[in-house]
């Protein structure tokens, strides 16, 4: 391996054409820079500088090495600069339901990242029950989840109005059993849907299961079936309330974090403000 300190002395001598001037540039004594060149030549096994020439100049081997030496030194400087910058060296892991990754929430993340360059935000969207499980297992520093009621250690909670929806494009008299559009098993709305329909003494079947909010709403738009969703998630889609089922009890959106101070607490406050404005 070529020692960058020895390469720096070699390049300085080649550029200056003089041991004396090279030593001055590197704030060394002439004997020290001569010794470093000698050690590099011993390592290479050949002379790199023609000491007889005036000014001194690289030998044929020295010329071949010079370009590589410059690149090695440039890469070393670049690596030193990058590693001395703390940007993105600490990670905050966040779990959020897909429909809450809004433009307002994104602005909170952007402002926080601007003020804390050393922190990288790792945001994962998913279903609330899975997010809760992973948070309790220590995978997330902050999590927002939807649940029937908040746990005692929640940082903030907000009621989320719910409603049943059908296509606004297709007038359908729904048969019995009712076709349902749902999230996969484990989704919070899915079980609430089943419980409500069974209270209505109706039967049902799963007509469509989608892993994302967009997929579910697109299927409802197309007239595939009925679904139960937050009211705030539907305005951009061609769906309308399914009046036959009337009101549905609100769910709760809760914020949790392991820390109550420092940057994580600051981020939790910003996220909570965005949620409060959303559910005002």
pLDDT tens sequence across 162-215? 999 999 988 778 888 999 999 888 777 888 899 899 888 889 999 999 988 899
Domain 90-157+253-278 has CATH 3.40.190.10: yes
For residue 93, the SS3 value is strand
Please report, for the chain, the start and end positions of each structural domain, with discontinuous segments joined by +: 4-84, 90-157+253-278, 159-249
**Same-fold call for 90-157+253-278 versus 159-249:** yes
The alpha carbon dihedral of 269, 274, 278, 280 has a sign of positive
pTM of the model: 0.66
Write down the H helix ranges in the chain. 4-16, 19-25, 30-44, 60-84, 103-115, 128-136, 188-199, 213-221, 262-278
Q: Which CATH number fits domain 159-249: 3.90.1150.10, 3.40.50.300, 3.40.190.10, 3.40.50.720?
A: 3.40.190.10
Q: Around 107, how many Cα atoms within 13 Å sit in the side-chain half-sphere?
A: 7
Evaluate if residue 88 carries a pLDDT over 60.
no
pLDDT tens sequence across 119-154? 999 999 988 889 999 999 999 999 999 998 999 999
Domain 4-84 has CATH 1.10.10.10: yes
Of 141, 95, 145, 139, the C-alpha closest to 119 is 141
Task: Fill in the DSSP letter of residue 226.
Answer: B
């Amino acid at each position: 391996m070529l020692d960058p300190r020895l390469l720096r002395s070699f390049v300085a001598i080649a550029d200056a054409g003089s041991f004396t001037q090279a030593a001055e540039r590197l704030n060394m004594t002439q004997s020290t820079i001569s010794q470093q060149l000698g050690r590099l030549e011993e390592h290479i096994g050949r002379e790199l500088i023609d000491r007889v020439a005036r000014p001194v100049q690289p030998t044929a081997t020295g010329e071949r090495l010079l370009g590589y030496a410059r690149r090695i030194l440039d890469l070393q400087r670049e690596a030193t600069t990058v590693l001395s910058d703390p940007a993105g060296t600490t990670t905050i892991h966040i779990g959020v339901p897909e429909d809450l990754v809004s433009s307002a929430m994104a602005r909170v993340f952007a402002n926080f990242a601007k003020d804390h360059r050393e922190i990288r935000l790792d945001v994962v969207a998913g279903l609330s029950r899975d997010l809760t499980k992973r948070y309790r297992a220590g995978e997330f520093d902050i999590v927002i989840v939807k649940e029937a009621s908040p746990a005692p250690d929640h940082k903030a909670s907000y009621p989320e109005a719910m409603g049943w929806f059908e296509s606004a494009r297709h007038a359908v008299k729904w048969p019995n059993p009712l076709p349902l559009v749902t999230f996969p098993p484990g989704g919070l709305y899915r079980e609430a849907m089943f419980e409500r329909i069974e209270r209505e003494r109706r039967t049902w079947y799963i007509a469509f299961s989608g892993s994302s909010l967009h997929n579910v709403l697109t299927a409802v738009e197309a007239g595939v079936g009925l679904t139960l969703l937050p009211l705030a998630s539907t305005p951009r889609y061609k769906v309308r309330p399914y009046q036959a089922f009337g009101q549905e009890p609100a769910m709760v959106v809760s914020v949790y974090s392991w820390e109550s101070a420092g940057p994580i607490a600051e981020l939790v406050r910003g996220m909570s403000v965005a949620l409060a404005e959303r559910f005002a």
